Amino acid sequence: MDWLTTVDHKKIAVLYLLGGTLFFGIGGIEAIIIRLQLIKPMNDLVSAQTFNELITMHGTTMIFLGVMPIIFALMNALIPLQIGARDVAFPFLNSLGFWTFLFGGLLLNLSWFMGGAPDAGWTAYTPLSGTKFSTTHGVDFYTVGLQLAGLGTLIGGINFLATIITMRAPGMSFMRMPMFTWTTFITSAMILFAFPAITVGLVLLTFDRILGANFFDVAGGGNPILWQHIFWIFGHPEVYVLILPAFGIISEVIPTFARKRLFGYSSMVFATILIAFLGFMVWAHHMFTTGLGPVANALFSISTMLIAVPTGIKIFNWMFTMWGGQVRFTSANLFAVGFIPTFTMGGITGVMLASAPADFQFHDTYFVVAHFHYVIVGGLVFGLFAGLHFWWPKMFGRMLNETIGKWTFWTFAIGFHMTFFVQHFLGLLGMQRRVFTYLPNQGFDTMNLVSTLGAILMGIGVMLFLFNAFHSFTKPKGVANDPWEDGRTLEWSIPSPPPEYNFKQIPLVRGLDAFWKEKMAGHQEMTPAEPVGSIHMPSPTILPFVMSVGIFIAGLGLMFSGEQFSNSFMSFIFNNWIVCGLGLLITFGSMVLRSLFDDHGWHIELEELEEEGV
């Protein structure tokens, strides 16, 4: 119950972590089944239809329901701590964002049990995703489920933007913010300007499918390429929404374990901003083969290649940070250092794909699959593992076991390269993506076998991490404030896990790497910026949960509004929009309640703070 009503950013972080891990697991199982199907030529483990559902759900689940929430978990756990704040700007919205994400994800996955999952690829290209080719409710689950999950992400983005703008501790100027806070800030801005586009796209597709609109239906005057533009004008920024937080994590982990400040801090900041800006200009590099014409292709090709410049700056800065440092290879740092070559390889294949004439060869082959897995898994997932190993003691007050951590790294990293390195060559040989099987003796057999074995090894790596996580909870709490002893930023100046109010006194920030600076000056803790006083806290509330349940019901009602049921009662309530209306009523009702009854919060009084003797 406590967990359903919490508005504490640290607890919401744990919820995001659990939710994200759940869906990451589901997506992982889907991946293993896909790889098992492709282990040998002419395999018949799953049918072609099931295969299409598996690849669609794997991509969608991993991106929207797996890695995004785990990124949000780390952001929620750390951003207020890193900027010296007691909370986020909108605790209520924070909880609402989590619940809409969770119910969106559940809705999407219900499709497995309610007549078929979406089967048009994670990009849902029209007309494949129209009612003509996708006859089950699968794509409806996709449009409605993603709409909900996307809403949660948008809410989270606005929340982080406002938090970082207004809640920084005294002395923390923008150019003193930790890199992870910076990348969160830029990521949130990208979310704000990218997600509304997919919101509209999903609405249009829903209208086409449910209300008989003609946006993408050529017979009615519609334009299927329009979907691709809308999808990618969101979709390309989205891939940077994924990778920028990983950049931030790496920029925290490497300096800590090299005992050196980050090389080229300000160039890192500007490179991040530049990447975000260029990220919005390049969407049509996913559409070279749709016939945009040579001029458009050339422009999008060049703007895409430009992104390699700021990205290169980052890579070199990380290497210069390690140069001459006293590098400690903890498991967190192994993942951070391992990130550099894997991500770089993904970047290089990216530049290859950005050359429009070459892309006519690579497009829709396993080369593209290899490219984006090198950046998303070799980049983002490595980054997330680095971040989780690094901040685990701060989040939970317990260390992860280093030996298991190192095993996690080696199995995962080796499995990763086995799985995806060979896919470059499969692509160059002409193996198409999204085909459910292939003929023998075309030179695909051995490499597919290696790829599948690698995937299983990666799976073992993930299991090791999960085991490590559970194992840590069998140990008592009691980690020091600064367990790595080389912590640089504010979160390491307070207890692990932090108390409900984070900072008993808001700290005074006197430079970049605020905590490190104080330690170098011989101080044990931060200088406070205010006297000890009573602390105002927001009250817990069930409303965000109820609101999300409401939208969930409305979504189901919308999807089945045109369905022929054998049961007359079901037909009555669904076909007359009663279910949909009821759901909306619950949601809007809760909004009205929220608006009518002010939440004044509560206070932690001075005496309680003294008693705890922190």
Partner 1 sequence: MASAHTEVDGKLPNEPEKATLEGRNKILGFWLFLGGEAVLFGTLFATFLTLRNQTNEGPTANELFSLPLTAMATMLLLVSSLTSVFAIQAMHRHNLPSLIRWLFITVLLGLVFLGLEIYEFAEYMIKDDFGMSTSAFSSAFYTLVGFHGAHVAFGVVWIGILIGQLYRKGLTVVTAPKIYVSAIYWHFIDVVWVFIFTVVYLLGKVG
| Least distance to ligand HEM, CB of residue 442, Å | 21
The verdict on 311 binding ligand HEM (CB under 6 A) reads yes
- Of the CA atoms within 13 Å of residue 99, those in its CB half-sphere come to 24
The verdict on 407 binding ligand HEM (CB under 6 A) reads no
> Of 78 and 375, which has the nearer Cβ to ligand HEM?
375
Question: Residue 538 and residue 540: Cα distance in Å, rounded?
Answer: 7
Q: Is 566 helix (H, G, I), strand (E, B) or coil?
A: coil
Beta bridge partners of 535: 604
Per the CB < 8 A criterion, the answer to whether 216 and 127 are in contact is yes
The verdict on 595 binding partner 1 (CB under 8 A) reads yes
Give pairs for 455-460: CB < 8 Å, separation 24+: 455/31, 455/32, 455/35, 455/415, 455/419, 456/32, 456/35, 456/415, 457/411, 457/412, 457/414, 457/415, 457/418, 457/419, 458/411, 458/412, 458/415, 458/416, 458/419, 459/28, 459/32, 459/415, 460/411, 460/415
Residues from 96 through 155 that contact ligand HEM (CB under 6 A): 123
The verdict on 222 binding partner 1 (CB under 8 A) reads yes
The alpha-carbon radius of gyration of the chain (Å, integer) is: 25
Longest dimension (CA), the chain: 77
x/- track of binding to ligand HEM for residues 330-349 (CB under 6 A): -----------------x--
| Least distance to partner 1, CB of residue 163, Å | 9
| Least distance to ligand HEM, CB of residue 120, Å | 12
Residue with tokens 């330690």: 519
> Of 58 and 286, which has the nearer Cβ to Cu ion?
286
Interacting residue with partner 1 among 170, 196, 312, 443 (CB under 8 A): 196
DSSP-H helix ranges across 376-473: 382-396, 402-429, 445-473
Residue 238, amino acid? E
> Of 205 and 345, which has the nearer Cβ to partner 1?
205
Interacting residue with ligand HEM among 23, 257, 362, 492 (CB under 6 A): 362
Residue nearest to ligand HEM (CB): 350
The verdict on 71 binding ligand HEM (CB under 6 A) reads no
Question: Residue 207 and residue 200: Cα distance in Å, rounded?
Answer: 10
Interacting residue with ligand HEM among 372, 382, 409, 516 (CB under 6 A): 372
- Of the CA atoms within 13 Å of residue 529, those in its CB half-sphere come to 13
Interacting residue with ligand HEM among 208, 217, 359, 513 (CB under 6 A): 359
Interacting residue with ligand HEM among 286, 394, 488, 519 (CB under 6 A): 286
> Of 208 and 252, which has the nearer Cβ to partner 1?
208
* CA angle, 471 then 476 then 479, to 5°: 100
- H or E element, residue 10: helix 9-37
Neighbours of 112 (CB within 10 A): 15
| Least distance to ligand HEM, CB of residue 327, Å | 25
DSSP assignment letter at 461: H
DSSP letter string over 487-556?
A: --SGGGGS-SSPPTTS-SSPBPP-SSSHHHHHHHTT-SSPPBSS----EEEPPP-SHHHHHHHHHHHHHH
The verdict on 488 binding ligand HEM (CB under 6 A) reads no
Q: φ and ψ at 212, to 5 degrees?
A: 70, 25
Which residues, in sequence order, are CB contacts of 174 under 8 Å at separation 6+?
none
| Least distance to ligand HEM, CB of residue 67, Å | 9
Interacting residue with ligand HEM among 7, 146, 148, 376 (CB under 6 A): 376
Q: Which does 417 bind (CB under 5 to 8 A by kind): Cu ion, partner 1, ligand HEM, none?
A: none
Rounded to the nearest 10 degrees, what angle do helices 445-473 and 402-429 cross at? Answer: 160
DSSP letter string over 187-220?
A: HHHHHHHHHHHHHHHHHHHHIIIII---SS-GGG
The verdict on 212 binding partner 1 (CB under 8 A) reads yes
Provide the CA 400 distance to its chain's centre, in angstroms: 23
Tokens of 415: 């499995």
The verdict on 244 binding ligand HEM (CB under 6 A) reads no
| Least distance to partner 1, CB of residue 362, Å | 28
Q: Which does 193 bind (CB under 5 to 8 A by kind): partner 1, Cu ion, ligand HEM, none?
A: partner 1
| Least distance to ligand HEM, CB of residue 534, Å | 45
Interacting residue with partner 1 among 162, 292, 351, 428 (CB under 8 A): 162
Q: Which stretch binds ligand HEM (CB under 6 A): 129-137, 192-200, 236-244, 318-326?
A: 236-244
The verdict on 363 binding Cu ion (CB under 5 A) reads no
Q: Which stretch binds ligand HEM (CB under 6 A): 148-156, 304-312, 385-393, 497-505?
A: 304-312
Interacting residue with partner 1 among 158, 243, 322, 509 (CB under 8 A): 158
Ramachandran area for residue 597 (φ above 0: left; ψ -120 to 50: alpha; else beta): beta
| Least distance to ligand HEM, CB of residue 206, Å | 21
| Least distance to Cu ion, CB of residue 353, Å | 9
Residues from 194 through 253 that contact Cu ion (CB under 5 A): 236
Q: Which does 353 bind (CB under 5 to 8 A by kind): partner 1, ligand HEM, Cu ion, none?
A: ligand HEM
The verdict on 592 binding partner 1 (CB under 8 A) reads yes
Size of interface with ligand HEM, in residues (CB under 6 A): 25
> Of 225 and 537, which has the nearer Cβ to Cu ion?
225
Verify cis geometry, omega within 30 degrees of 0, for the bond prior to 127: yes
The verdict on 555 binding ligand HEM (CB under 6 A) reads no
Question: Residue 38 and residue 438: Cα distance in Å, rounded?
Answer: 8
| Least distance to partner 1, CB of residue 192, Å | 5
Per the CB < 8 A criterion, the answer to whether 151 and 107 are in contact is no
> Of 222 and 415, which has the nearer Cβ to partner 1?
222
The residues that touch ligand HEM, with contacts defined as CB under 6 A, are 123, 239, 242-243, 285-286, 304, 307-308, 311, 347, 350-351, 353-354, 359, 362-363, 368, 371-372, 375-376, 379-380
The residues that touch partner 1, with contacts defined as CB under 8 A, are 89-90, 93, 154, 158-159, 161-162, 165-166, 192-197, 199-201, 203-204, 207-208, 211-215, 217, 220-223, 226, 230, 233, 536, 592, 595-596, 598, 600
The residues that touch Cu ion, with contacts defined as CB under 5 A, are 236
